[in-house]
Amino acid sequence: MTIHRLLYRSDMDLAGTAAGIRQQIVEIVRISEARNAADGLTGALLHTRGVFIQVLEGPMPAVEATFERICCDLRHRRVELIELVEAEGRVFGEWSMGRISADQRIERLVSRLPAGEDQVPEAASAHATIQLMRTLMVSGPAQAASSEQLPGTLRGPGG
Ligand code: FAD
């Protein structure tokens, strides 16, 4: 079966206290886990202060249908497709919807991810972002922040 992988970023639009927002994200993930598993999708959702970054991987029709629903969701805005590619295999095969809550060091890197149509990161940056998310899923933020792969992961202003 051909697997496609999609990467996007968006601006969170959730109201409430920090704990309330965290609870809403937990709920999004809980519902998505079940739905993605039924649709043969795997992936992960990274959230930092104000930003979502999500990877979805699976059969193209399911990736497309899910992304269409996600785009209509009012809990975030400025949904920006970063990459949609045919993949050799799944990077997040163990998770129908992993949740990554980034610490401050990761937040700094994510905040530098370019936003705006004329600033779509190059494929190498998208690849590095996906690998970082995989590392965060497996090892947690501290491990990822000390890893060699971080400096080139997310392109800063001006590239
Ligand atoms: P319904 O549940 O019938 O809802 C109708 C509409 O209301 C939809 O537009 C829905 O987006 C919106 N909605 C639902 N609940 C709320 C709420 N509490 N507040 C405001 N609006 C609401 N879904 C997946 O299946 N897989 C994913 O991987 C996935 N990832 C997501 C990542 C993010 C960052 C967000 C914000 C949502 C994600 N969702 C995901 C949820 C997705 O956007 C849909 O809400 C969900 O799939 C249900 O779709 P539905 O058409 O059945 O909508």
For the chain, domains (ranges, CATH) are: 3-139 (3.30.70.100)
pLDDT band at 71 (very low <50, low <70, confident <90, very high): very high
Of ligand 1's listed atoms, the one at least distance from the Cα of 24 is 18
How far is ligand 1, taken at its centre, from the CA of residue 73, in Å?
5
0.75 exceeded by pTM: yes
pLDDT band at 154 (very low <50, low <70, confident <90, very high): very low
d(CA 38, CA 100): 21
Of ligand 1's listed atoms, the one at least distance from the Cα of 75 is 36
58 Cβ contact partners less than 8 Å away, ≥ 6 residues apart: 3, 4, 36, 39, 40, 41, 42, 43, 90
141 has a pLDDT exceeding 80:
no
The residue whose CA has the least distance to atom 46 of ligand 1 is: 69
How far is ligand 1, taken at its centre, from the CA of residue 146, in Å?
34
